[in-house]
Amino acid sequence: MQEKLNRRDWFKTSLALTAGLSVTPALVQNLMAAPVSEAERAFLKQGKTTGAKVRLNSNENPYGPSEKAKKAVMQVLTEGNRYAFNELEDLKKIIAQKEGVDPSFILIGAGSGELLCQTGIAYGLEGGRVLSAYPTFGLLMNYAEEMNAVWDKVDLNEKLEFDYQKLLSSIKSDTRLVFSCNPNNPTGTVVDSAIVKSFCEEASKKTMVYADEAYIEFLEPSDQKSMVQLVQRTPNLIVSKTFSKIYGLAGLRIGYIVAHPDVVKKVGKYGDTISASQTAIAAAKASLGDEDFMKMTRDKNTIARKIFTDYLDHKKVFYGKSRTNVLLFPAPKEGKTMLTQLEEKGFLIRIWEYQQKEWCRVSIGTAEEMKAFVKAFDEVIA
């Protein structure tokens, strides 16, 4: 209920903001998403922005898009007057081949976020409950709640990892869907794929399972064990992936789910049949499987993340062992003040609430950005 009210508040706030009442819409754009804490709501209400430049608040890839993707986008611009019917079908086939399924198992959306929303609507409309660990990426559950489902949450374990045992035992008779996020956002923590696999196998006997793999390519290739391997024989499983993270195409908006054709139809009903643009499709085609670009992002991200974790280790701050481009740790100072003071120094981060405490979520930027951020952060908490 609280979440629901918060979401409505957010819609109201953003309406007021875009009407130009108190702050520039740029601040809203910078925040990129609905507030997840009182600190963020209070920060928004302050209505001032210094035009912060370094966005450590949206888990974006600071190195993308790749040169190949940019070239493809430039080339396809002349087709901008054409609906991308054929191009979408082509991309679907390419993705299907990569994932080892028939194209009827693939649904492409304008970002995986769109597909999370549609899935939230499709299953939320059935009433009952949706279940996830918390904190996690809440979009699907937010939409399900809007459709009158109840969002059941279980805590992460003490290492800030998804607790799959607890999740499995929390499935109730009216749980319509259970959400898994591995690696998880906002923690960047990863659970062994064998545990996730056995969870998906067991949970899917009871309810629909949604396995969000938005950050899986941040793991070394030998660790990228996708749950897509289960989809053919598991009608109760949806796996989602995105081009926004490792490929750096967040602003172009393209992602996809892999699921049984009946599920694809059920979820697809709540979206446009062709929401991906010519440019997004072209960039995705040029990016898919670009091992060099993915490795470059991974390697640079690892170096940049270490700059910040070295600092946190030095300060003896506890944090979840992230293997992606985001970190979560207890806020060392009151959340709204941190947001305000960091923004004044040119940095945007997020503040989450969990177990009656405030937590900082920091996305990993470039090494230079993280060095500058460490300095600013240290001054703010001094």
Ligand X SMILES: Cc1ncc(COP(=O)(O)O)c(C=O)c1O
Positions in the binding site for ligand X (CB under 6 A): 59, 111-113, 137, 181, 185, 212, 214, 242, 244, 250, 255
Q: Which is nearer to ligand X, 6 or 61 (CB)?
A: 61
Considering the complex, what minimum distance in angstroms separates the CB of residue 204 from ligand X?
20
Dihedral-angle region of residue 148 (phi above 0 means left; psi in -120 to 50 means alpha; beta otherwise): left
Residues composing the chain: 382
Write out the two tokens for 63: 């190195």
Q: Which of 36, 32, 27, 42 is nearest to 343 (CA)?
A: 27
Q: Which is nearer to ligand X, 244 or 297 (CB)?
A: 244
Considering the complex, what minimum distance in angstroms separates the CB of residue 139 from ligand X?
7
Considering the complex, what minimum distance in angstroms separates the CB of residue 382 from ligand X?
31
Q: What whole-number distance in Å separates Cα of residue 200 and Cα of residue 208?
A: 9
Considering the complex, what minimum distance in angstroms separates the CB of residue 173 from ligand X?
28
Considering the complex, what minimum distance in angstroms separates the CB of residue 60 from ligand X?
8
Q: What is the DSSP letter of 217?
A: G
Q: Which is nearer to ligand X, 139 or 312 (CB)?
A: 139
Q: Please enumerate in sequence order all residues whose Cβ is within 8 A of that of 39, keeping only pairs 6 or more positions apart, or say none.
A: 331, 334, 335, 336, 338, 339, 351, 353, 358
Considering the complex, what minimum distance in angstroms separates the CB of residue 339 from ligand X?
19
Dihedral-angle region of residue 253 (phi above 0 means left; psi in -120 to 50 means alpha; beta otherwise): left
Q: Which is nearer to ligand X, 113 or 380 (CB)?
A: 113
Contact status, residue 204 vs residue 174, Cβ threshold 8 Å = no
Q: Which is nearer to ligand X, 64 or 113 (CB)?
A: 113
Q: Which of 100, 367, 324 is nearest to 223 (CA)?
A: 324
Considering the complex, what minimum distance in angstroms separates the CB of residue 63 from ligand X?
16
Q: Which is nearer to ligand X, 105 or 137 (CB)?
A: 137
Cis-peptide, bond into residue 25, ω within 30° of zero: no
Q: Which of 40, 21, 22, 42 is nearest to 32 (CA)?
A: 40
Q: Which is nearer to ligand X, 75 or 224 (CB)?
A: 224
> From the centroid of its chain, how far is CA 69?
21
Contact status, residue 64 vs residue 247, Cβ threshold 8 Å = yes
